[in-house]
Amino acid sequence: MPDLWASLPATLQDVLFALALIAPGLLAGALVLHGLRPLPLVGAMLRRFALVNALFVALIAVSVGLGVGLLAQERGLRQGSARAAEKFDLIVAAPGSEVTVMLAAVYLQPSDMALVTGAQYAEIAGAEGVAFAAPIAFGDSFQGAPVVGTTVDFVSHLAGPLAEGGCSARRARRWPAPLLR
């Protein structure tokens, strides 16, 4: 018998095992309902409370839809955050909130935090094992747009080489004139 069981495909083994687990409950239900007719009673209750039953089904459908939507949003947020932060191996900042520093460095969120001094930056950039270091300064804004200060090498590291030349008229309308010079 063990050889016959081992020769069956895995899916068939799973189905037979599930049926073996469900069979006692089905047998007990059949014994309890022997001689009774519950289907007319169930049908009458469904007809009498049709509106309540429909609302209950709709409530369950909405809750399942919201759950699936939230899970998809969470997955998208995790993947987007991982992609945005993948070019940052280590972020060194002055004392403050770690979350604030991460949001400011990776997502360029405005924040009010102290800057690392020039001597500290030189020590970090010159440390053994540091392949690339770039300073970032936040906090200023121009006409509601945040201004971020850094080096050309850091911008090239994040977005590729910078292009030279003018910009299209459509882009010029979006950016304030002082930022185009």
Task: Report whether pLDDT(148) > 80.
Answer: no
Structure-model confidence comparison of residues 179 and 86, the more confident one: 86
Which of 61-70, 81-90, 102-111: highest mean pLDDT?
61-70
Q: Tell whether 101 and 167 lie within a shared domain.
A: yes
pLDDT at position 156 is 79
Residue pLDDT, tens place only, 3-27: 888 899 999 999 999 999 999 999 9
Residue pLDDT, tens place only, 29-46: 999 988 888 889 999 999
Average pLDDT, rounded, for the chain: 82
The 3-class SS string of 6-30 reads HHCCHHHHHHHHHHHHHHHHHHHHH
Q: How many domains does the chain have?
A: 2
First to last CA, the chain: 84
Q: Tell whether 17 and 53 lie within a shared domain.
A: yes
Q: Among the three residues 84, 101, 130, which one is the final residue of a domain in this structure?
A: 84
Give the pLDDT mean for 105-121: 78
Please tell me the distance from the alpha carbon of residue 26 to that of residue 47, in angstroms, as a whole number. 26
74: domain range? Answer: 2-84
Q: Which two tokens stand for residue 129?
A: 């094992």
